[in-house]
Structure 1
């Protein structure tokens, strides 16, 4: 009997530890929105309540004009907001810093000057599409083949730069950089060659470089192109760098670059753009133009396509916008106006709803509410849960392509021409 009670106590302790881990992951407040999709790379927002109604006057704290062109999402460190921009002739590349409290521009620096731009595709994109990543005192800006630089956040001065890592984007770059420990990770999945690089974040020197990201070494063209941003996970005590390409999603050992495992994407690989999410011991990812949502067990070694894809869905899967996971439900919106909700455990389609608009920006979640941002200028707010419930619809005469950033009670949103700061006000 004593042994049985002792075993129950051990089980209860284990359950409480795992439950506490889940609470820490979901509820720990953060101060900085330091990278694409926030500090955990998953669109989860902690902090004070955000408003659900917005306009050019309602709940608007400030609005600042941003020059030229750019789809990079804003990032935040302390009271600084950073984003990038490209001149309309694609010859000059900039980084801009805005004061969080006032909207005043603090830095506006030309980072690179391009002698000749790539072929201009009709597909909408910008040379300033990759979102920077920031840490205390340093920001890392990435413009794909046109250059990567580390800048001092106080002065805006360049600490180091690299312009020798090159590919042919054709439709301009899209993959955002990430940092982990002392390494900066960059993906170059062009139409001519595809590789991933790990740089020393302090001096920009190459630590490792991998070119094995396509299923054929001679593959080229748009079907080799990818825009995805990698993510770092820790699964069963093993840290992994999850880096989608057009054909595969590949897991690397972050320090050495050694390949751990890979899965082959179904059908024709092309234009993978969303960022993978790790939840409940699985990696969830979308496959771009082939429109699959995959749930992958990130265990094992080698090509695990036949064994580790736990389930898949083809129901209204987006090309570009990243999914959002809340509890055991996954939400996403496609290039049409449909929002879908799937059950992570049973893979059941819980519901579909229409919010209007074409969505490239990735959604965010806070306190039971999910926010979507469309290219037609609509901000839609719905309730999370097993039923579709629309809370608010807000229409602007602009376009939202960049994903938002959040700092405490402030929602920072980049439009085609301006940077907005919204927060709950009494007006």
Structure 2
């Protein structure tokens, strides 16, 4: 049997907390605040198969994509064998298939897999209260264009929603919009590009009717904006970057709103129309963490395990131009 995702929802048995959860949405990767969570929110200190679980469902496939929530809807993206039992979707067992650097081993060609049969990319809508599946829609069926590492998946990007539609970005396949009844509203095909063997992972973000995506690869890296209503590409800006996995972040500060992107070549801030505002160099050799804002500052970091350079930066609003670490404010 192929691997399965276990989607679980935990609820603290407190009337105030349940009411708070029921009124809150989690519409994108890392939630409304892009990772900044209020200290007052109470969550369970522990949970397990039978502890603090409201319900549990079994969804076929394997994906690092996070669930998102809007009202009574929980949207989940997965990828599964298209009618076959493909061993590349088996769970990762370090002692058998991957000898991680942290365990004293090194990566080998055996850690990289490329299925030879069709995979199916599927979006689920699950009822928040019961765990029942409202609908499932297949986005794409094909043999993947490139391999991926056993530590990653072919569906690592998290969807985003505005409460009327749910948007799915698959960097090597396409961009999709569905309404809450499961009807496809529009789709945009995207070209496959070569990237490092961990595949893609940067998720889309939604701001003021626009979808922003970053597609950093070993070929033609870019950041782009799409109209959420129609799927029309509004602008695209080339980036001097290699493969990265960081999700972009819209920073609404006292000066203006900025689209913040990180990469091995540096941190870049763009206006919401794609103009470069400032850039900061000095990141590590692989960049994954997403920027976030708190206390009127923008926080940026990267820390690849094999890199001695693992910076953390705090940036004030109103920066401009190009700068080295410690000189941007």
Question: What interval of TM-score do these two structures reach, taking the shorter chain for normalisation?
Answer: 0.7 to 0.9
Gaps of 5+ in 1: 1-26, 215-223, 311-427
2:275 is equivalent to residue 258 of structure 1 = yes
1:157 and 2:192 are equivalent in the alignment: no
Higher relative contact order (CA 8 A, sep 6+): 1
Q: 1:301 aligns with which of 316, 320, 326?
A: 320
User: What SS does the corresponding residue of 2:214 show, helix, strand or coil?
Assistant: strand
TM-score (norm 1): 0.59
Corresponding position of 2:301: 286
The whole-number CA distance in structure 2 between the counterparts of 1:253 and 1:265 is: 22
TM-score normalised by L of structure 2: 0.76
Post-superposition CA distance 1:325-376 (Å, at most 9, x none): xxxxxxxxxxxxxxxxxxxxxxxxxxxxxxxxxxxxxxxxxxxxxxxxxxxx
Residue 127 of structure 1 corresponds to which residue in structure 2? 154
Give the aligned length. 269
Preserved contact between residue 185 and residue 197 of structure 1 (Cα < 8 Å): yes
* Equivalent residue, structure 1, for 2:108: none
The CA deviation string for residues 9-61 of structure 1, in whole angstroms up to 9 with x for no partner, is: xxxxxxxxxxxxxxxxxx9x962110111111124157863221212112221
Map of 1:241 onto structure 2 = 259
Mapped to 1, the partners of 2:57 and 2:141 lie a distance apart of 25
Does the residue aligned with 2:136 lie in a helix, a strand or coil? strand
**Aligned-pair distance for 1:163?**
1.1
Which position in structure 2 is the counterpart of 1:104?
Answer: 132
2:191 aligned with 1:198: no
1:359-398 paired onto structure 2 within 5 Å: none
Matched with 1:357 is none
RMSD: 2.2
2:246 pairs with 215, 228, 233, which one?
228
Mapped to 2, the partners of 1:230 and 1:297 lie a distance apart of: 18
* 8 Å Cα contact 1:95-1:110 kept in structure 2: yes
Runs of at least 5 residues in structure 2 that lack an aligned partner in the other structure: 1-19, 81-88, 90-114
What secondary structure, in the 3-state scheme, does the structure 2 residue paired with 1:60 have?
A: coil
Larger Rg: 1
Asked if the contact 2:23–2:71 (Cα under 8 Å) also holds between the matched residues in 1, the reply is no
CA contact (8 A) 1:197 1:210 kept: yes
Q: Work out whether 1:144 is the aligned partner of 2:163.
A: no
Q: Residue 64 of structure 2 corresponds to which residue in structure 1?
A: 71
Question: Residue 127 of structure 1: CA displacement?
Answer: 1.4
Query: Is the contact made by 1:295 and 1:309 (CA closer than 8 Å) also made in structure 2?
Result: no
Counterpart among 108, 118, 141 of residue 113 in structure 1: 141
Is the partner of 2:172 in helix, strand or coil? helix
**Distance across 2 between alignment mates of 1:86 and 1:113:** 9
1:269 offset after TM fit, Å? Answer: 2.8
Give me the whole-angstrom Cα distance separating, in 1, the residues matched to 2:234 and 2:174. Answer: 17
Alpha-carbon shift at residue 265 of structure 1 (Å): 2.4
Q: State the 1:172 CA deviation.
A: 1.7
Task: Indicate whether 1:167 and 2:193 are aligned.
Answer: yes
